[in-house]
Structure 1
Amino acid sequence: MVERDRLEDDQAHPPRRALGVRVIIIYKLAKSGLQLVMAFALFRLASSGLAARAHAFAVTLGRESASAWSAALTEALSTATTPHGAHVVSAALAADALLSFIEGWSLHHGYRWAPWLVVGATASLVPFEIRDLIRHGWRPTRVVILVINVVMAVYLSRRARRGHRGCSASTE
Structure 2
Amino acid sequence: MSAGEYYAEKAEGEEAGGWVPAFPGQRPPFAPGNEVADMRWQDSHGAYSPRKVDPLAKELVDLVLADPSTAYLQAGHWRPALYAWARAEAQVQLVSEWLADQATEKHPIGDLGDERVRAAYLLLHRAETRATTGRTRLGLDPLSAARLGRDKTAAALDAAQLMAQLERQEREREERRG
Flag whether TM exceeds 0.5 (same fold). no
Give TM-score scaled by structure 2 length. 0.36
Name the structure, 1 or 2, with higher relative contact order (CA <8 Å, separation 6+): 1
Q: TM-score, normalised by structure 1?
A: 0.37
Which has a greater percent of helix? Answer: 1
Structure number with bigger Rg:
2
